[in-house]
Structure 1
Amino acid sequence: MSRLLLLEAMGNTGPYLLRAAEELGLRVTVVTHEDVYAKCYAPALKELIGDDVLFTDFADTETSRRQLVAYARDNDVSGIVCGWEFLSPLVADLAAELGLPGNDPRRALGCRNKRVMAELFAEHAVPSPRTLLARTYESAVAQIAERGQEYPLVVKPAEQSASWGVSVVREPQELAAAFALAQSWPVETPHHIPLDTTVIIQEYVGGVEFSVEAVVCGGLITMLPVTEKFTTQDAYRVEIGHTVPAVLSAESLTQIRRTSERALEALGVLNGVAHIELKITPDGSAKIIEVGARLPGDHVVRLMHVAHGLDEARAYVEAVTGRQPEITPTYERAAAIRFFTSYRAGTFQGLRGLGTSPHVMSVDTDAPGTRVGGVRDKGNDARVGHVILSGADTAEVNAAAAVVMAHVRVEVG
């Protein structure tokens, strides 16, 4: 039986990939660190994985790469998938060395590092925010003045995930704190992979934010339905919900598709999937915010299946194992997720005021007593759970979500 390597399964896309591989008749070896497996893997995930676990130290990239190449050659590995965003460049390197379908390893860092991404976007004229790169606060101030960059600005780390460390800076006096926040993570957690501490400073792009998924096989790009995004609107932007599909004009859909394709070509995405975040600006054009060579988080994989019968995790596995992905929608409905979010750090005590609706498919919350971050502290670490809903169309599911969330109160002590 052919084998699939899954580099890190602890993210919320891990179970989707494990189940997809099983359906395709593939054995899966999950690659992680021994300490991460012991401390971060829930019992249910360990049960789903079974005994096929390979321990490595991702912080030692070269040693890990050699170990995984040797393992793959000895164990009939036919594909490699990324379940942890920080590992996508390593996945591309391994696939190239083993002669397996993957992305261009020379440009793969651009799907992980926003500094490299900005450089590739500039080189290939991909519509995206004007970007400054700074390693010190003094350099940032000097560049902003030299280029006459106007506020507001978006300040974020070169290498982080979700919305960690992202600030919208509206006045010069806010820049120092935002810059310091963006440099708060010199290493990734929990693998302790060293991170680029360059700070990204971008023009604030007005308009409406969306995300879109792509399945890529042999360089052929297929765009999936667009996702509507909901975020907080204060200085610290945190995603608080998603709805599939977004309702957009034909012109906007065309703009999203064409601009996304240019971004993927610039980043060398050739086989697998990509998660693309972008905005439709007030003039109707599309600008790429960032791209990841991975499945979407936040259970968007499930939303896509509920809304359209699409299994993006399966398509990902198919694309990297030399199979033709099945990516035809089988029906047209809608699905949404909304997150229960704390605005201050503390100890989660419970959830109050959650409404009811026949559209609710599932509700999940942390256990009382769990430590939680605040929106300002750690972005998506402020979440304490979520609700998933389904509906006949986008308007119906968004209305149902509004009713369910209208009086929710996250109690933190």
Structure 2
Amino acid sequence: MPQQTGKHVVFVTWKTGNAPAFAAAQRLGHHVTLIRSLEMERLQGLDFETSPYGASVDEVHCLQDAGDLDALRVCVGRIHQARPIAGFVASTDAFVIPVAQVAAELGIPFTDAAAARTAKQKSRCRDALAAAGVEDTAHAVVKDLDEALRFAALAGYPLVLKPEMASASEGAFVLADEAALREAMAGVAEHADLYRHGVLLEEYLSGTFLSAEIGLSRGRVLRLAVSERKTWDGHEPLEIGTTIPAAISDGQYEAVMDFAERVIKAVDLRLGIFHVEVMLGADGVPRLIELNPRVMGSCLPNLFCLASGVDFFELLVRVYLDEQLDLGPIDFTHYATVRWFGAADREPTPAELPDLGWTEEYRPALQSLHLAFPDTPTLEPHRGNLGAFGEVQVRHADYQASIDIATHVVDRVASQLGMEVTR
């Protein structure tokens, strides 16, 4: 990619994993500012201070909560006054909407704020797709059990219940029958904050669970990848893995990408890289699971790099600087697989990490294995994407081998720990 000069890029994030994007921005010749969110770092048990991110950042500003619109507005205003900002990168759900609002106020290109709100408010997103003729999955926001039962009588079982606005699969359930619906609605009252924006019921979609990673820059669509998603049989809404690229036919790829393009245009996101979760039915018709107005999360950008050889992080920076890009088709030479795992049931926290010397048997396919237990006496059951204590990444030229190696590594860790994990 050609060298750029002199622009000011502001990252708003709590993730140390965004450090490769900071470095990419500097390689492209830009001034890099980071706005940290101390409360989110604390909640996630992260320590920015001991990470090597500082080598790729020119200036750092710390907010207690970077999702606080007023605090963010003041902070960004001061930064912009000192050195005009050319673009923002906000790759986490909590910050996309406030950053979009501030960017709009300052006239700086970013994802459209109203569209980001529509994407994150799940029923509103489905309404927008229905109005545009993209799809019409049955759904309803319900206030109580009576409304939930009325919707179920019309839509039938199974159903999906989830918070109207949330992320990381928190609070999502597949409901097989009326008894499960009654139990889930009773649980809503016990977790009122999670469902404070409403309880969404949706028609259950079956098929192959995929996601389209797709960008928009200067009005031009960038087709990056279709990824394959794996969920846990013990709690279907929980995602425990991804493989990039998905092992699907050319026709299926075109169907998913065409659908993703129609989704992001119906919502009018305008600028950014987006993560569109899709269920590809047995009839070949894609339907929306969830639209995320931000880049794919966790380690998935790194998986993309491993599978394609393309520097995703440079691409990310260039998209959010609204540059004219002509990417062309991505030539994937490998398959990259991640598996996340945590305790299947409540377990005592192990006193120490197991000896992982055996992992050398799986090199060079095994790219990384990370284990980190929380500083608590008990491991809570892994039911949301943020609740895993382990992650394994594998790269292999063969699709099935990439998955099998990741599976074997998780199995061996579980055996060492003497506990059942989400796999």
Please name the residue that 1:21 is paired with.
Answer: 25
The question of whether the paired residues in 2 share the 8 Å contact of 1:100 and 1:321 is answered with no
Please name the residue that 2:389 is paired with.
Answer: 384
In the superposition, relative to structure 1, how do residues 229 and 33 fare at CA in structure 2: closer, same or farther (>3 Å)? Answer: closer
In the superposition, relative to structure 1, how do residues 352 and 175 fare at CA in structure 2: closer, same or farther (>3 Å)? Answer: farther
Output the CA distance in 2 between the equivalents of 1:183 and 1:164: 15
Q: 1:372 aligns with which of 355, 370, 379?
A: 379
Q: Does 1:95 align with 2:100?
A: no
Please name the residue that 1:55 is paired with.
Answer: 62
In the superposition, relative to structure 1, how do residues 87 and 184 fare at CA in structure 2: closer, same or farther (>3 Å)? Answer: farther
In the superposition, relative to structure 1, how do residues 91 and 383 fare at CA in structure 2: closer, same or farther (>3 Å)? Answer: same
**Alpha-carbon displacement from aligned partner over 1:251-305 (angstroms, at most 9, x marks no partner):** 2111101110111012222111001110110111101111112121231111110
Please name the residue that 2:167 is paired with.
Answer: 161
Question: What amino acid is aligned across from residue 28 of structure 1 in structure 2?
Answer: V
Using the TM superposition, give the Cα deviation of residue 412 of structure 1 relative to its aligned residue in structure 2, in angstroms: 6.0
Q: 1:399 aligns with which of 400, 404, 418?
A: 404
Please name the residue that 1:191 is paired with.
Answer: none
Aligned ranges for residues 1-400 of structure 1 at < 5 Å?
A: 1-10=6-15, 12=17, 14-36=18-40, 40-42=46-48, 43-44=50-51, 47-48=54-55, 52-56=59-63, 57-58=65-66, 60-127=68-135, 129-145=137-153, 148-181=154-187, 196-325=196-325, 327-328=327-328, 329=330, 332-349=333-350, 350=353, 356-358=361-363, 359-367=365-373, 372-375=379-382, 378-400=383-405
Using the TM superposition, give the Cα deviation of residue 183 of structure 1 relative to its aligned residue in structure 2, in angstroms: 6.5
The question of whether the paired residues in 2 share the 8 Å contact of 1:343 and 1:382 is answered with no
The question of whether the paired residues in 2 share the 8 Å contact of 1:11 and 1:83 is answered with no
Using the TM superposition, give the Cα deviation of residue 76 of structure 1 relative to its aligned residue in structure 2, in angstroms: 1.7
The question of whether the paired residues in 2 share the 8 Å contact of 1:129 and 1:289 is answered with no
Output the CA distance in 2 between the equivalents of 1:140 and 1:202: 10
Query: Partner of 2:155: helix, strand, or coil?
Result: coil
The question of whether the paired residues in 2 share the 8 Å contact of 1:307 and 1:333 is answered with yes
Question: What amino acid is aligned across from residue 344 of structure 2 in structure 1?
Answer: Y
Q: How many residues align?
A: 402
Output the CA distance in 1 between the equivalents of 2:127 and 2:339: 34
Query: Partner of 2:114: helix, strand, or coil?
Result: coil
In the superposition, relative to structure 1, how do residues 54 and 202 fare at CA in structure 2: closer, same or farther (>3 Å)? Answer: same
Question: What amino acid is aligned across from residue 76 of structure 1 in structure 2?
Answer: P
Using the TM superposition, give the Cα deviation of residue 390 of structure 1 relative to its aligned residue in structure 2, in angstroms: 0.9
In the superposition, relative to structure 1, how do residues 59 and 276 fare at CA in structure 2: closer, same or farther (>3 Å)? Answer: closer
Output the CA distance in 1 between the equivalents of 2:71 and 2:374: 41
Using the TM superposition, give the Cα deviation of residue 306 of structure 1 relative to its aligned residue in structure 2, in angstroms: 0.6
Question: What amino acid is aligned across from residue 343 of structure 1 in structure 2?
Answer: A
**Residue range with higher mean Cα deviation, 236-245 or 92-101:** 92-101
Query: Partner of 1:107: helix, strand, or coil?
Result: helix
**Residue range with higher mean Cα deviation, 37-46 or 302-311:** 37-46
Output the CA distance in 2 between the equivalents of 1:33 and 1:368: 20
Using the TM superposition, give the Cα deviation of residue 126 of structure 1 relative to its aligned residue in structure 2, in angstroms: 2.4
Question: What amino acid is aligned across from residue 22 of structure 1 in structure 2?
Answer: Q
**Alpha-carbon displacement from aligned partner over 1:316-364 (angstroms, at most 9, x marks no partner):** 2111213234745365111111123211234431559987423211111
In the superposition, relative to structure 1, how do residues 289 and 331 fare at CA in structure 2: closer, same or farther (>3 Å)? Answer: closer
RMSD across aligned positions (CA):
2.8
The question of whether the paired residues in 2 share the 8 Å contact of 1:164 and 1:379 is answered with yes
Question: What amino acid is aligned across from residue 149 of structure 1 in structure 2?
Answer: A
**Residue range with higher mean Cα deviation, 284-293 or 103-112:** 103-112
Structure 1, gaps ≥5 residues long: 189-194
Question: What amino acid is aligned across from residue 111 of structure 1 in structure 2?
Answer: A
Query: Partner of 2:152: helix, strand, or coil?
Result: helix
Query: Partner of 2:51: helix, strand, or coil?
Result: helix
Output the CA distance in 2 between the equivalents of 1:153 and 1:314: 40
In the superposition, relative to structure 1, how do residues 324 and 23 fare at CA in structure 2: closer, same or farther (>3 Å)? Answer: farther
Query: Partner of 1:238: helix, strand, or coil?
Result: strand
Output the CA distance in 1 between the equivalents of 2:295 and 2:418: 32
Query: Partner of 2:362: helix, strand, or coil?
Result: coil
Question: What amino acid is aligned across from residue 340 of structure 1 in structure 2?
Answer: F
TM-score of the aligned structures, taking structure 2 as reference length: 0.85
**Residue range with higher mean Cα deviation, 172-181 or 384-393:** 172-181
Output the CA distance in 1 between the equivalents of 2:54 and 2:79: 23
